[in-house]
Structure 1
Amino acid sequence: MLIRRLAVLLAVSLAASSAQAARCGGDFNSFISSFSAEAQQAGISPSVVSSALGGVSVDPGVLAFDRRQRYTFTKTFEQYVSTRVGSGRINGGRAMLQRHAALLSRIEQQYGVPRQILVAIWGLETDFGKGDMGKLPVIRTLATLAHDCRRSDLFQGELLAALKIVQRGDLPLRDLIGAYAGEIGQTQFLPSSYIKYGVDFDGDGRVDLRHSVPDVLASTANLLHTNGFKMGGSYEEGSENFEAMREWNHAVIYRKTIAYFADRLIGR
């Protein structure tokens, strides 16, 4: 979901360092040259930097979307949930609970996050991987936003994380496709979260959040577990688990929608 975490990015960007802010704007190619040198100093190989950033250009569509994006919910919970959680999505989620029952059981045992929460997030973000995961080259999107002066420091960090995804071998450049803020995969991880919380749960040696359902669901569980989510506790508004979901989305309405959807999936 595109609004996810953008409010957080906007808030944190107010703390941008003057050194980084001074480098934003101006000639885009000069900016990329400077960033490329910094990326190599941070351990990204010259070949990855060259293949990812060579010939990259500004995406005006990303800038236009960023300018018009709203960072707060304008609907009530009732209005919002009615557009996101209908009978079709509930039935689809219940089918996913059955299809992936053994996998979800393993994830519950390892991370202590109930299966209905994971499937609810999966459904809301990309309709269980069948919906829109974004169609934009992540490197171009993040380079555009990193060059823009509004949140340059934040998106430079995300751009560096995206290069790390390529360097680790998790996704090739051709598969590094995402949404308007660089979100990637079936549960829409920002690159920094991909690096921090990504789990190779299918054991193939890489974290693939676009194609591997085990990696997607386990990584989502790892994010919640790492931020304090505990099995068996309430996840309704006001609970510790509800607070733990802030790392997923700061918006109360969105977290209430996750909780509502999760309850409907198990017949509550």
Structure 2
Amino acid sequence: MPRKRSTLALTAFALGAFAALTTQPVTAQAAQCGGDFRQFLAGVKQEAVSMGLSARVADQVLSGAQIDRKVLSRDRAQGVFKLDFLTFSKRAISGYRLKNGAAKMKKYSGVFSRAKQDYGVPAPVITAFWALETDFGAVQGDFNTVNALATLAHDCRRPQLFRPQLIAAIHMAQNGDLDPRTMQGAWAGEIGQVQMLPEDIVKFGKDGDGDGHVNLKASSPDAILTAASFIKHLGWRKGEPWLQEVIMPGRFAWETTGLGRTKSGKDWARMGVKARSGKISNLPASLILPQGRKGPAFLAYPNYNIYLEWNQSFIYTTTAAYFATRLAGAPVYKAGNPDKGLTDAQMKQLQSKLAARGYDVGKIDGILGSGTRNATQAVQQKLGMPADGWPTPALLAKL
């Protein structure tokens, strides 16, 4: 599974989310990492106390912390996300998840109503994330949270992200929301049914069941309201769509498609784009083709960008957004008959050829990321091919 925004792409939160705890400037010590582990923990305690947290609680959290070599191993060997949209979405959106999602929305209808009223986030959006992250709480991870955070904060790869998370864990413990001995979660420190980091829980956590605590592991109401609070913070626009399947005309200016190229819904309709169900909104939207012009097609409205904030993988993002539309009543997408894609070796070969021609594809890693999609679309147009951003063996052969 690709890493969530709140894990690896959260530098803005990592640097700023703790403003609610202190008005003191971040000290140089906040960037310290490595060296003797106990001395490192002593520095974390000192920083936590300077932010107004209890020295006694900091000792309780940090005294038993240990380096977890399995965490380091997982961090250095993260699987890259190379499945195409049709493959991943069919695996991720099972009949079980659709049925269970509908049941959860019914069971917690009152909580979801509060989430929509207070934060503007509809139930299907929250439920899709809930399903994809942990199968509604069934798979939350078995790594000791404090050990995982201490390990990653001490490691010098991303201390600016994980050191504040370790301090936030102390804050959670002070609130009675984290037991350092028993709290378990993902290897990168995410906790609970919607997999959030301690810093986000401290800032956006909501008590959904009225027990005075925020318990994302055991309380579904807490998880639902906290997710809604976080999604609203990311910029969710109340009452607006996020993704809509559309039917494409036979002939089209494919070079106008892709994230970042926006037109009003009215303009897309004038170009022959038709809604699969319902009506096309006149909001600005990008026309996305996850597997090219012969596969499914969607209009991505401004709220789609919130999915990219949650997780930067285009395939995960589009799957989560589409899953939410299904939970909201949309039909199964028309899969079409996409052209064959590239193998891992072929994708790396394509990236190398594109880079040699001056295109910025980022790392030669075999991943069809935004850089490779944009470069593919540009070179397709240059070669007189349909510029839909989907790399094929035919394109590779032409290069």
TM-score by length of 2: 0.62
Match of 1:226 among 220, 223, 233: 233
TM-superposed CA distance for 1:113, in Å, is 0.7
Q: Deviations over 1:141-162 (max 9, x none)?
A: 1111111011112110111111
* Aligned mates of 1:189, 1:80 — CA distance in 2: 23
Report the structure, 1 or 2, having the larger helix content: 1
* Aligned mates of 1:205, 1:197 — CA distance in 2: 15
Match of 2:124 among 95, 105, 116: 116
Q: Deviations over 1:65-101 (max 9, x none)?
A: 101014x522222222122111111111111122222
Matched, 1:31 2:40: yes
Sort the Cα spacing of 1:35 and 1:186 in 2 relative to 1 into closer, same or farther, 3 A: same
Match of 1:3 in 2: 3
TM-superposed CA distance for 1:242, in Å, is 1.0
8 Å contact kept, 2:29–2:43: no
8 Å contact kept, 2:169–2:178: no
Matched, 1:159 2:187: no
* Aligned mates of 2:94, 2:112 — CA distance in 1: 23
TM-superposed CA distance for 1:108, in Å, is 1.3
Match of 1:68 among 77, 83, 94: 77
Match of 1:265 in 2: 327
Sort the Cα spacing of 1:33 and 1:18 in 2 relative to 1 into closer, same or farther, 3 A: closer
Report matched runs for 1:121-160 at 5 Å.
121-129=129-137, 131-160=138-167
Match of 1:206 in 2: 213
AA aligned to 2:42 is S
TM-superposed CA distance for 1:35, in Å, is 1.7
Match of 2:111 among 82, 100, 103: 103
Match of 1:248 in 2: 310
Q: Deviations over 1:25-74 (max 9, x none)?
A: 2211221122222221122211111111113211111001101014x522
**What SS is found at the alignment partner of 2:203?**
helix
Cα RMSD between the aligned structures?
Answer: 2.3
* Aligned mates of 2:121, 2:10 — CA distance in 1: 26
> Structure 2: where are the runs of 5+ without partners?
15-25, 244-298, 331-399
**What SS is found at the alignment partner of 1:201?**
coil
Sort the Cα spacing of 1:41 and 1:116 in 2 relative to 1 into closer, same or farther, 3 A: same
Match of 2:51 among 33, 37, 42: 42
Match of 1:84 in 2: 92
Sort the Cα spacing of 1:149 and 1:18 in 2 relative to 1 into closer, same or farther, 3 A: farther
TM-superposed CA distance for 1:11, in Å, is 10
Comparing both chains, which one has the higher relative contact order based on Cα–Cα distances under 8 Å and sequence gaps of 6 or more?
A: 1
8 Å contact kept, 1:146–1:159: yes
* Aligned mates of 1:159, 1:62 — CA distance in 2: 15
Match of 2:176 in 1: 169
Sort the Cα spacing of 1:22 and 1:92 in 2 relative to 1 into closer, same or farther, 3 A: closer
* Aligned mates of 1:225, 1:32 — CA distance in 2: 34
% of aligned pairs identical?
41
* Aligned mates of 1:103, 1:164 — CA distance in 2: 26
**What SS is found at the alignment partner of 2:218?**
coil
Sort the Cα spacing of 1:22 and 1:218 in 2 relative to 1 into closer, same or farther, 3 A: closer
Sort the Cα spacing of 1:199 and 1:112 in 2 relative to 1 into closer, same or farther, 3 A: same
8 Å contact kept, 2:242–2:321: yes
Sort the Cα spacing of 1:265 and 1:77 in 2 relative to 1 into closer, same or farther, 3 A: same
* Aligned mates of 1:200, 1:12 — CA distance in 2: 21
